[in-house]
Each structure stands twice: as C-alpha cells, then as structure tokens.
Structure 1
C-alpha cells in the first residue's frame, strides 16, 4: 500500500472530545470510537433493557421487547463497556483499508460510505482487523485487545438511545433527549434538512453518548439478521439484513431510535446495495479470552441463583443438590437436576428484580433528600420573611386598622402566615416520605444486599446527568445503615444533614 500523509482531523473527527478513543488505520488514518458503559462489573453481569417502541404500527418489527446488554471490557474493575464508532465509516476510511493505493484525504471522501453490500462491510472489518493485528505494537496502550465488527441490534439501539447517559424514562422515549429540534441532530428527507443529499459526517449535534448521525444521514447495517417481534420476545425466524436509524431519504416522522427495516442480502442476482445504506463499527472481544477468565465465569455461573448467604437449612438449592447426590435412580436424578436448574433460574430472576428494586429505592431516597432540603430552604425563607414583617417592619398596634391592600394589614400577614404553614407542611410531608423509604428499604432488604447496590446506583446517577445527586445518595446510605444499627427514627438529624449538603 502506498505512502500517505497523516489525515487532518477534519476528515475523521470534526468534533473532537477529550474522551475519544482513537484506533489507527492504514494510510496514516484514524477511526474514532466512544465508550458505551453498562452498569455491570462482573463478566456474567448483564442489564435488562427494553428496546423498540409501543406503537401498534409495524408492531411485528418494532414493538417494545425485553433484551439484555453488557460490556466487553472493564478498566480497573470499573463498569464494563464496549466501543462504538463516533461517526459512520467514511469513503476515505473505507478506501484506506480496501484500496491497493492510499487515497488522498479530501472533503469529498468525508461522506459516509454507501452503495456497498453487507458482505463488503464484513470484508472491510476482516481486512481492517488483520491490519490491526499486524500493527498491534502501535495501538494505544489504553486500548484493550479486541476487534471491530458491525454492531448487533442491541448494541446499536442501546447506544443510539443514549445508554447509561440518560435516565430510564428518557431511554424509553422515541428519540434521545434533544435540546433543539430533530433537524439539529439528524439528516432526514425534506427541504429543511438533507434535501435529498447525503451529508458530511459530524456537521450536526451528537446524542448523549457523543455519537454523530446515529439517526439519519445513512442507514446503518447490523451484524445480526432481521427478526420479527412476538410482543414479549423475538420470533425464531432469522430474516434478511437489518438496517437502523433512517437516512437522508427517510421522512422526519419515521426517524426514531426504534426505526428498523429489513433489506435482502441479495437483490436479484447480486448482493444488495443502496445509495443511502452505510455502517458504523463496534470494537469488542470474545467472551472466553483466557483460562483465568473461564475459571471466573465458572465460579460466577455456579453462584447464580444458588441462594448464597443463606444458612444450610434455608438454602433449598444446596439441599436439593445434596438429595440428588444420594439418589441412585438415573431417571429421578435427571428430574432432580432439571428441578435444580429451574429453581436456580427462578432465584436468579428474583435476585435481578430485587437489585433493580433496590436501585430504584435508593435513587428515590437521594431525590427525596434533595427535595426536602429544597423545601426546607423555602420554609426558612418564608419564616424569615414572616418574622421580619411581624417583628421589625409592621407595628402590631396598627395591624387591625390598616387597609387590606397594605402589606402590614391583618389580611396580608395572614396570607403570609398561610404561605409559611404550607411550606412547612410540604417540607414535613416529604420528610415523612423520606423517613418511610428508609424504614421500608431497611425492613425489606438485608443490609449487605442494600450496600451491594451502592456502586451500581452511583454509576446510574452520575452517567445519566444526575451527578449532583451523588452526595445525597451517599447520605441516604448513611441514614439507612444508621437506622439498621439503632432502629431510631431521627427525622431532625436527617433533615439537618440533607440541608448541609445543599449548603455546600
């Protein structure tokens, strides 16, 4: 492959960010990726998410369906993540891998590559991966060992919706949170947007994960085939090629993170191609990378649903395993093993549901702590105003005789007193609600089970734009643990310490 000069960033990263992850490419090129964190830490951890939408139109293709997501990598035991392309693959990047001679970096190659087949895209990933293997010594030390490929539907939609950078309710919206209107984030059909033309990468605003053109511009090919929907699960038939996100030819109303259409892998006698279909990549790795990891996975697997932490008398799974070992009849032993697997599966589902419930309770507690401090500030303001009016501004001897419009009249002061009482009642109601959540959480769950959800909940708050809630969450944990130890309802202290955070 011929020599080429390093590319100017405007051709591959027109909107640079400090936390971009950059992979080298042939011809002195680069590919920019973004980390997509998932609230998981251990290799067998995954998180339940709902993909699709709840519209009945094209329900067989896009209806809301449960799924699960996890990451491939972890930095120092932190939350696991995978990497996804910040932009769609451009013609420049495609040619740098596939051509025998290096292309010259110029503006007309900074458009998404389109009019290629799914097989061309897979061939691109294969050739690029083999080049990366050869260039491994030049790769960033911060980049874990892995490979690029097309994204799966789950990986793509989780990232398109904003992943852990958005709240659960925002994740379920038809589009990721937008400060401005759609035309500021996506190229779609019509004069106010793309106007029938493919556009340069990175000209509009990014989604919450820092991904550009994840909606619109070029449709994006997925790694896995199209599957229909059966309300609560995906249909067993694997279909044709899946393309996601819409393009510059898609109507504005159809541009959503659930938008998904099926295209044939072959059109007549050749592989299907389209002028508005391109792709972006993910960077991931295999599951069983080493013997040590296999041992860790095996240990985690054996702990799933086995009621760890319970005494031998209470651990049904353990007792069932003991009984199974004592049985000689092979048929009975097989049935007991099947029962054991079903029991472990049910326990695991229960544990995951419990953990999500605890995380929701902890987030609620943090919000209530912040809310009660806000309401207390309003109460103190109203109380201070009332004290000043009654003790410093107004003459008590004149209150009864003043006109109702006068700020020191009995009517005005009574109105002020009512506002004061309402603000106190509002604060006390939320304080009582806060106290109830402490008691309910401490009563319904074991101390260790609650504290195990500290880091996952902290991660959810910080990554979904609620980092200001972190201190309130830490305080909520302190209040719960103190209550578990003492059994004392200490509303005055809880109010005081929530107020202290607000005052920082």
Structure 2
C-alpha cells in the first residue's frame, strides 16, 4: 500500500508556544500514514454481484472459466530478499482471567515469520499497472517489497463449481470444456462442507487450467518454469497459517500495535475509535445484538479488514495449508504434527470467542476413514511459487553466507555457543600438539580478529540500547508536551463555542483533531520502542538504563523529567516481556501521569 506525506497542519502552526524539546523532535511533522483499502486514488471498478460485490481500486484479479473472476489482495513485507523475513506475533497472549487462557496451547501467543515470494518485476504487466504507486520503492537500506497474494473473498459456490467441472476435460475424460452453468441463488455463498483434500484439489485443477489457458496472467520468477535462467511460475495453493494471519491482522497497512491486537482495526473514514465487530464479521449475536440469524452470508456482505480482505473473522471458517502444531510455553510451536488448521471462526461463534488469531484443529479423516468435512468451513486461496528456483541461487547463497557469519553474534552467549570460545579451544589444542604449526598461528590470528569483531558488535548493541532508552524518554516527553497544547486548545475551543463563532469552532476542532492524531502517532512510536526494547537481553538493557540515568542526572530540569520518562519506559518494557501485550490507552494515561 502507498503512504501519504502530510504537510504541516493547523495544529503544528498553532503550537508554536510548545516547549523546544517537542519542536526539536518534530515527530508529527513527518509522519507517514498508510492508505487504507478504501482510501485509494484510482476509482474502483463497478460492483460485480457474482464475483466482486465490493470492488477496491487496487484489486488484482485472475480469470475463471465462463468469464468468471477471482479477486486477490496484495500483501508485502519489506525485506532484503526472498531469504529475509519479518517476525510476527501469532495467536494471542491471554491472561489468566480471560476465557482463552485455558486453551493457550491451541491459540496462545507464539512467534512466526513471514515473507513474500514475488518481486514487482515478477508480476504481469497488468498487475504492475494496478499497483503503480501503491508499493514502496527499494531504498538505500537495501529493503524492497516482497509480495504475496491472497484471496479477497472466500471461494464461493459458483467459483468452486466452475473449477471442479473442468476435471474431466483437463484429465482427458471429456473432449470439450463443460458448458457454463446458469446463475444460482447460492452462487455468492462461501463453499463449505469440504475436506482439506477437496480444497487442495481445487487449487490443483485451477492451476492446471490457468497454465493451459492463461499462463500470462500469473507471476513468473526469472522467466518462469522451463526458462534458461531456471525460473519458476506461480501456482494456486492454500495460504499458510502465518500468511493468512498476517494478512487478516492488517499486514503492512497497520502499525505494530494493531498487528498484535485481539482484533484488527475497524475504522471508517475519520473515526477515532473502532466500530462494532458486527459491521465487519458474520457471527451469532447474543442478547443485546441485532438479532442476526446465525447463517452463512454471501461474500462481501460486511466491511473489509485494512488489507481489503472480507470475512476473515466469522462467516465460513477457513482452512490453511500447513498442519496443526501445538503452542508451547514461551511462544514457540511444538514438534508434534496434528490435523489441519482452521482459522477465523465461523458464523455460529459468539462475539466474545472471536479474535483474529483464532485457530482450531480438525482431523484429516473421520471415524470411518473418510476425509473429514465441516458445514461451517471453507477456504480462500493464495499464490505460491518455488522458494529457491535456480534463477535465485546466487542471490540466496550470498544472503545465506552473509547471514551465517552473524548468526551467533547476540548480546549474550553461553560459553558453549560462543564461536570465539570454541576457536580458542581449537587453537590451544593445536599449539599443544603442534607448537610450531603455521595453521595454529593463523588460527590464533583469526581468533583474535573474531574477538575484536564480536566486541565491536557488542559495543554497538550497547550503544543502540542506550539510544533506544533515551529516545523513548524524549518521545514520551513530546507526547506530554502535545497534550499540554491540546488542553489549551480545548479551552480555546470552548471560548469560541461560548462566543458562537462558527468559524473559530471549526478551526479549533480541526486543529485538535490533527493534534490528537499526532499524539497517537507518537504513542505508536513509543510502543514500537517498547517492543524493540523487549528484544534485548535484560541484563544488557538494565546496564544501559543505569548509564542513561547517570547521564540524565547531569542535565538540569529536563534531565529530571527525562529520567522519570526513562524509568516508566523500562517498566513498560518489562511488562511487555512478561505478557507480550500492552493496553494502548493505559500506556498513554501513564505517560501523561493520569
């Protein structure tokens, strides 16, 4: 998705009296805001009742038989290459007083990693045109958008029938493709009552048809499969669980805090708060609800998530590609492989049980040995390709080699894992057994160089930790300064209301709205820093906090305030380490001393 650079606003012109610290930081003057799925410059296509009832301007589409269509949404990860990835939080870190806590081994917090497989150059020309201006350019830091594509809607009954009817013709049992079916009343309903194997068969048949009839409509790496460069073609498959959940949470469109929240952001227009889940999801509403019937709904009935995906929560639950793994304490997957994974919940769920990272395990086979099916479960598709086609070997090897050199250089290493310690042991053995060995002397030199390199990286890591603590204190100070200005602006707004000055009321209302957005954006930066701080070793971070406190103690007035901010930041880092979650509003209140 693209981002828009906002010019200096009325709020920033109105806040000239704010303290110099906030002005020096200038956080709100250069904030970048992603464009939501419904805030794009190119007008969307007209609604297509059968295949695309809620068109978005940057939709990607694949052809289906009988002039049908299948819509995709674009997800990207900023990465160095296909070997790189982004660490993401999956599931949810339930506390002991929450209903999901006793099933933490099923859907609790755990770490995952995600990356795209396609670069913009791999895409068909029509796709590149649709995404023109919507993707970040490769920057000086060497990062570029690595893309993957996932179905905008759940596969419908019509789409499923169109593809599965091709099987006799594709496999030589029929001389011609089947006739196109007449529209049916259930065409727009998600296809359910399928086995995991049925979903895989759909992706296989659809891929075969696309390769025969519309190969040019698919992305291709390095010239595609069969090319002299050793490229690879895209194919249709189920999304992996991590791909599904990253996209469902909002992917590149939302900030880190939103990615880790229980539910994806639900904002319309300039709304400052999330809307009711019933506007985004089909589920069984209990007492106090609208009385919605618990039944499957046509695609596009509700609103899309920030990426532009419909029904990722509720309606039909969705199968994914990888098998079910338990969640172990500490947030890592277990080693035992189970059944298949179903994501997102279904229309029979109640609101309190639904969350974006929801998952369930179902058996591949029923008690009669037949592939198991469920009347509430369907699927959406994704596009995949080879992870390591020959056309990318050189790039992948260079990345792997560079990554391997640094893989053990962490802030704290146990002695048995420290490469320097191991090399010292080898050198000592060689010098004992072969005192005059040239190899021993050369290895000794390598050992010393390795130690110097490790020491340099460790020093840089210590400096980075100290800078993170100090900059976070400055961000918190800026939030406080913004809030002081907002308090004054609210007083001026009340004065304008008392004077019945409509122009003044409108001006200060706009200024306050802009200022509130600036506070929230600065808070996002602060919370990102909390997340980064939790990745450091506790002893290293505590050591650098002590150094920062010592330095701040030498600064009059401002140092005292920043010292208190740094102390609060350390408290938030420790809380996040323990729970892997923080309440955004509570953090803001604590930063403001409420």
What is the rounded CA distance, in whole Å, between the counterparts of 2:327 and 2:461 in structure 1? 24
- Residue equivalent to 1:289: 389
- 3-state DSSP class of the match of 1:82? strand
Partner of 1:410: none
What are the Cα deviations for residues 34-68 of structure 1, in whole angstroms up to 9, with x where unaligned? 01111323221111111111122201101101111
Q: Which residue of 2 aligns with 1:61?
A: 106
Runs in 1 of length 4+ with deviation above 3 angstroms?
140-145, 190-194, 326-329, 349-382
CA RMSD of aligned residues (A): 4.6
Q: 1:128 to 1:49 in 2, by over 3 A?
A: same
**What is residue 510 of structure 2 aligned with on the other side?**
none
Match of 2:208 among 130, 137, 158: 130
Q: Matches of 1:28 and 1:186 in 2, distance apart?
A: 29
Aligned residue runs from structure 1 range 40-51, under 5 A: 40-51=79-90
5+ residue gaps in structure 2? 1-45, 95-100, 122-137, 139-143, 166-177, 225-232, 267-273, 410-418, 434-438, 493-521, 534-594
2:401 is aligned to 302
> Are the counterparts in 1 of residues 47 and 55 from structure 2 also a CA contact under 8 Å?
no
Cα offset for 1:372? 9.1
| Alpha-carbon offset, residue 286 of structure 1 | 1.1
Looking at structure 1, the residues matched to 458 and 322 of structure 2 have their Cα atoms a distance apart, in angstroms, of 30
Give the Cα–Cα distance (whole angstroms) in 2 for the partners of residues 265 and 216 of structure 1: 22
187 and 81 in structure 1: CA distance in 2 versus 1, 3 angstrom threshold: same
Please report how far the alpha carbon of residue 112 of structure 1 lies from its aligned counterpart in structure 2 after TM superposition: 0.2
1:96 matched to 2:158: no
Q: State how 1:42-441 maps to structure 2 within 5 Å.
A: 42-55=81-94, 56-75=101-120, 77=138, 78-99=144-165, 100-139=178-217, 145-178=233-266, 179-190=274-285, 192=290, 194-231=292-329, 232-269=331-368, 270-291=370-391, 293-306=392-405
Deviations 1:208-251 (A, max 9, x none): 11110010000101111111111221111111121111111112
| Equivalent pair of 2:263/2:356 in contact (CA under 8 Å) | yes
Query: Using the alignment, how far apart are the partners of 2:351 and 2:256 within structure 1?
Result: 24
Given that residues 326 and 333 in structure 2 are in contact (C-alpha distance below 8 angstroms), is that contact kept between their aligned partners in structure 1? Answer: yes
Tell me: CA distance 1:72–1:141, structure 2 relative to 1, closer, same or farther (3 Å). closer
The yes-or-no answer on 1:26 pairing with 2:65 is yes
> How big is the shift at 1:8?
7.4
Gap change, CA 1:44 and 1:373, over 3 Å in 2: farther
TM-score, normalising length from structure 1?
0.62
Q: 2: distance between equivalents of 1:147 and 1:176?
A: 29
Return the alpha-carbon distance in structure 1 between the equivalents of residues 334 and 480 of structure 2. Answer: 48
- Greater mean deviation of Cα atoms: 91-100 or 182-191: 182-191
Residue 364 of structure 1 deviates from its aligned partner by 5.9
State the number of aligned residues.
366
CA distance in 2, matches of 1:255, 1:84: 21
For residues 155 and 356 of structure 1, the distance between their equivalents in structure 2, rounded to whole angstroms, comes to 31
CA spacing shift, 1:15–1:170, aligned 2, 3 Å: same
Whether contact under 8 Å (1:95, 1:102) holds in the other structure is: no
Instruction: For 1:356 and 1:158, locate their aligned partners in 2 and report how far apart those are by CA, in whole Å.
Output: 28
- More relative contact order, 1 or 2 (CA 8 Å, 6+ apart): 2
Query: Would the aligned equivalents of 1:264 and 1:272 in 2 still touch at CA under 8 Å?
Result: yes
* Distance change (3 Å), C-alpha of 1:150 and 1:354: farther
Cα-to-partner distance string for 1:235-284 (whole Å, 9 max, x where unaligned): 11111121111111112211111211111111122211121110001112
Q: Which moved more, 1:238-247 or 1:368-377?
A: 368-377
Contact 2:282 2:347 in 1 (8 A): yes
What are the Cα deviations for residues 415-457 of structure 1, in whole angstroms up to 9, with x where unaligned? Answer: xxxxxxxxxxxxxxx9xxx9xx9xxx9xxxxxxxxxxxxxxxx
CA deviations on 1:374-414 (whole Å, 9 max, x unpaired) are 579779989x9xxxxxxxxxxxxxxxxxxxxxxxxxxxxxx
Contact 2:153–2:309, Cα closer than 8 Å, also in 1: yes
